[in-house]
Structure formats: structure tokens, C-alpha cells
Structure 1
Amino acid sequence: MKTAIYSAAAALTLAVAPAAHAQSTDNGWTGPFVGVQGGWEQNSVRNPNNAISITPLTQKSDTGTLGVYTGYDKEVAPRIVVGAQAELNFPIDSRFGNGVASINPKRSVDLSLRAGYLVQPKTLVYVRGGYSNGLYGTDVGPAIHTSTDRNGWLLGGGVERKLTQKVSARVEYRYTDLSEGNGKFDRHQVLLGVSYRF
């Protein structure tokens, strides 16, 4: 009987020890989160394809953007955090053109992964990469009006800082390439976000 008790105690100790160690090194970044973000966005195009033909436009346009996001982070090792995120963003008053053709960014959906390093227990420096889909309205002359879903990739990085155990703030730069065919269509963003962690 004593042997069984000692064996059970030893097994319990072995099971609890890794969990206790993980708890001692966990900086509270593991778990789901939601957030809001906003910032600056620049769309840069050079004769991009649309749903019918080519848009005769070479121009850059600066605007603001607002969005929401949700995701999940996990501290996979001491100071190492990885995560996944889905988001929906809406440019603000973003139509631009040259009198012959115009483009109107309407919304973007981004799905991305990130990996970061905790330079301090409350400060995460990270890189991000993933998929982006943008919906754009295009007008060419008086007769051509189309809406085009553009698919591409994004790459960026940023810094996130915990303000409380549940709330964090971040700043992030992001480059997105939505080019198709011979045309150019890319996007630069600087985003400020506030997250709530569950």
C-alpha cells in the first residue's frame, strides 16, 4: 500500500513539476485576444489589372484606415511568442485617380502569423507574414465600373507592450503586395492597435 502511495506521489510530482516550471516562465502572453487598430495607409499602383482590362493609372494615395482583429498567441518557450491573427480593415475616404481612371479601396481581410521575442516580460518585438485580400472598385471612363478582389501577401513587424495584465498596445509597419500580371499594386501601412486578452 505504501509503495503504491509513494509511486502515486512520485508520478504526481513528475506531472506537476513541468507545469509549475511553465507557469514560472509564462509571462501572460498565451491565450486569445481581440483588438481595434487604426493608422496610415498608402496605396501605390502602376497600370493594375482589373476585372475587365487594365486600369490606366500610375499614382500613390495616402489615407487613413480603421479595423478590428482577433487571434491567439502562445509562449512556446521562455521569451518566444508565436501567434495567428485574422483582421478586417476599412480605408477612410480612399478613392484616387487621374480624371480618366480611379480606384476606390473598400476593405481588406488579412490572415497572418507572427513570431516574437520578449525583450522584457511586458514588451514583445515581432515579425509578421501572411495572406491579404483587398476589395477595390475601379472606374475607367464613363462605361467601365468593376469591383475586383485582389489576393496577395503581407510582411511586417512591430512592437507590442502590455499596459495591464489584460490590455496591451502595439505599433506595426506592414507591406502588402497585391500585384497581378504585369501591373503594380502594393500597400504600405503604419498601424496602432489596442488589444484585450482573455
Structure 2
Amino acid sequence: MRKIIVATLLAGGAVASPALAQDVGPTFTGPRVEAILGYDHVGAGSDVDNDNGRNDQSIDGLLYGVGAGYDVNLGSAVVGVEGEFTNSTAKSSRYDFTDDFGFGRVKQGRDLYIGARAGILADPATLVYVKGGYTNSKLKVLAGDTDETTNTAFKLDGWRIGAGVERAINTNTFAKVEYRYSNYNKGRIRFDDGATSRNFDVDTDRHQVVASVGYRF
């Protein structure tokens, strides 16, 4: 009888072990890549004198790009590093010349970001996180009252913070929604002939709400 009980327990353990291993799979850990799409708003910061009696000088558009990162699942928390390359359709109007927010008529160009994030697991498939890091943005100067870009551009340096929720669809795929705020406080001009100015102070705000889908290796 004792042998029968032992054999039954061993068989039950053999069946339970694979199921348990599947439940605690490597979610939210390892390298990842993702596609990014969302809303982009770039405008004057609080230190900018708009000279038009209102504080709404800004440009808006569609943000799109790609990101990559590496995460480590610590059990109840996740930490990681990440980077992004994005672009945007935001640009100054051809007809309303009050949206220059200190740069004249411009079109939002590429943006580079590198930073870190940390979060807690609300449940085994849901990560709530905060993030922060360095961002470098480019504003292309538009020619006259056209939509044509020139070879002159502003390059801006700043910082970014944000927060989001990521949901694991399965072990390898995920989706997330994120808000982030960026402030650019240093700028320089790259002129048409390739010359670059010295750094100067700026105050430019950027708000983004984005959604991402990605794959974890």
C-alpha cells in the first residue's frame, strides 16, 4: 500500500511540474523590440515669452518609430534599459505664423532617446512602470511659407520622464500604452553649409501619448 501511495505522489508531481513551469515562464525578461505609434505635441515651455498674449504656440502630429530594450524580471518587479528612434508629422502651419514657439516655422524631425525603466507586476501578465532618460530632438526649418524643409535645423538636448502599462499577450509578444513628457533645455543650430552654432538655452516642452506592440526574444 505504501508503494502505491508513493508512486501516485510521484506521478502527480510529474504532471504538475510542467504546468507550474509554464505558469512562471520568462515574461517581462530579456531583449525586446517594438513598433511605436501615437500623438505628438511640441510647444513653448513656461520660460518662453510668446509675445502674442497666449501660451499656445505649438505643433501637433503623428508620432511613429521603433524601440528596443532589455528587461530583467526580479519576481515582483522589473528593471530595464531601452532606446528609441522616432519621427513625427508635426509642423508649423503655412497660414498661422504664431506657432513658431521660439524657432520660427519648423517641422519636427527625428528624435533619439535612451533611458531606463522600472516597474511592478500588478499581476503575472501586467507591468506598471515609470521611465526616464536622455532625449535629443531635431527641428527642421521650413522654407518661407511652404512645407519644404531646408538643410538648416535646430538640435535640442533634454530629458524625458514617463509612465505606462505593459500587457503580455504571451511569453513573446506584448502591447503597451504610455505617456511621456520631455523638456529640451539646450539647443544649437546646424546651418545649411554644415556649420554648427554653440549651445544656447531653450525651453521646449513635448507631450506624447503612444501605443506599442512588440516581440520579446
Residue of structure 2 in register with 1:191 after alignment:
210
What is the alpha-carbon root mean square deviation over aligned residues? 3.2
Within a 5 Å distance, the mapping from 1:1-198 to structure 2 comes to 27-45=26-44, 59-75=57-73, 77-92=74-89, 94-96=90-92, 98-99=96-97, 101-139=104-142, 146-180=152-186, 183-198=202-217
Query: How many residues are treated as equivalent by the alignment?
Result: 170
> Where in structure 2 are there 5+ consecutive unaligned residues?
1-21, 99-103, 187-199
Q: Which structure: greater strand fraction?
A: 1
Matched residue of 1:99: which SS?
Answer: coil
- Letter of the 2:91 partner, please give it: R
**Residue segments in structure 1 that go unaligned for 5+ positions in a row:** 1-22, 50-54
Q: C-alpha distance in 1, partners of 2:113/2:120?
A: 22
- Displacement, 1:79? 1.0
Cα distance change of structure 1 residues 56 and 85 upon mapping to structure 2, 3 Å threshold: farther
What is the rounded CA distance, in whole Å, between the counterparts of 1:74 and 1:184 in structure 2? 35
SS of match in other structure, 1:159: strand
Q: Percent identity?
A: 33
- Does the 8 Å contact 1:27/1:121 carry over to 2? no
- Write the distance in 2 (CA, Å) between the matches of 1:191 and 1:82: 20
Counterpart amino acid of residue 125 in structure 1: V
Q: CA offset at residue 138 of structure 1?
A: 2.7
How far residue 61 of structure 1 moved from its aligned partner, in angstroms, is: 1.8
